Amino acid sequence: MNLPLYRPEPATSTRFLFFTGKGGVGKTSLSCATSVKLAEAGRRVLLVSTDPASNLDEVLAVRLTNQPTAVPGVPGLFALNINPVAAAAAYRERLIGPMRGLLPEAALRSMEEQLSGSCTVEIAAFDEFSGFIGKAEAPGTYDHVLFDTAPTGHTLLLLDASEAYNRELQRQSRESQPESVLRLLERLRDPAFTRILLVTLPEATPVHEAAALQEDLRRAHIEPFAWIINQSLLNSGSCDPLLQRREAAEHPYLSEVVERHATRTAWLPWQAEEPVGPDALARLAQSQRSLVIQSPNEQRH
């Protein structure tokens, strides 16, 4: 099977890139390596994690907050974590703060209790997320913003919130809505602004979960740009019988992705260790030879 290796093309990459899929498929490594590659090409890049259990700090070897932090050794690359708990605390304070000194303490405590549930956490995280995508001018200082998303279910919660915002707009005056809300779904659905990259492994569960996510995205009128098959032994050329059997076991799932699910496909070879730190990420990015993610038709010509 002849599939291209994955590599971003800095000349044509859109402003927003999402790496999404099942947990443990390598979204963080791929989003970090892509961010490094874009920054090395002279772009100004922001990498955002929306995963409550993010290990972005570890992979980039830098301590992150909810504010952009420069990544040492990679000029032009900045990263941050959207911490849902911290976002919820800030969200509560924005609502309750103006009431301090105006309402009794008992009333303020009651408001805090009402805003302490999981729903508030999701709303607060979505509020920060929508700011990066929806504002026409944001983030004006970055050429690209990449999102390392949480596992599939959290991604769908963000999309559900986007759709809910959109329905609410239909009941209210557009003039009264924040620009970030007005533009959110429009930007997510526009391939000129946003590319959704589905990351998977050449195994049954990750492939089938990615396929289900793709259907959910399409129901939201969001078309994924490509699938990236990570940790593959494709064309390894190994003489080891065990690795040969493992490579052969991948082929049904690789064929399923190409023939049934993906408009474009690419793959990354198996790595013995997770790349950690800018140097390792740069080596991963440099090992990727193909310049484009090809569609099945393009691959046959």
Which tens digit of pLDDT belongs to each residue from 143-188? 898 988 866 555 555 555 555 555 544 554 444 445 555 566 777 7
Whether the model pTM is above 0.85: no
25-75: per-residue pLDDT in tens?
Answer: 888 888 998 898 899 889 999 999 877 777 888 889 899 988 889 999 899
- The answer to whether 36 and 77 have CB atoms below 8 angstroms apart is yes
Q: What are the phi and psi torsion angles at 292 (to 5°)?
A: -135, 160
**Is 4 inside any structural domain?**
no
**Is 260 inside any structural domain?**
yes
- The answer to whether 216 and 38 have CB atoms below 8 angstroms apart is no
Which pair of tokens denotes residue 247?
């490579």
**Is 208 inside any structural domain?**
yes
Q: How far apart (Å, rounded) are the C-alpha atoms in residues 145 and 18?
A: 9
Q: Confidence class of residue 247 from pLDDT cuts 50, 70 and 90?
A: confident
Domain that residue 211 falls in: 16-299
- The answer to whether 113 and 97 have CB atoms below 8 angstroms apart is no
Q: Confidence class of residue 233 from pLDDT cuts 50, 70 and 90?
A: confident
Query: Helices 105-114 and 84-96: crossing angle, nearest 10°?
Result: 140
**Is 7 inside any structural domain?**
no
**How, if at all, do strands 265-269 and 194-200 pair?**
unpaired
Among residues 148, 162, 21, 168, the alpha carbon closest in space to that of 81 is found at 148
**Is 24 inside any structural domain?**
yes
Count of structural domains within the chain: 1
Q: Confidence class of residue 261 from pLDDT cuts 50, 70 and 90?
A: very high
Q: In sequence order, which residues have a C-beta less than 8 Å from that of residue 41 and are 6 or more positions away? A: 10
Give the mean pLDDT of the chain. Answer: 76
Looking at residue 20, its pLDDT comes to 87
Q: How far apart (Å, rounded) are the C-alpha atoms in residues 234 and 251?
A: 8
**Is 266 inside any structural domain?**
yes
Q: Any idea what the CATH number is for the domain that residue 289 is in?
A: 3.40.50.300
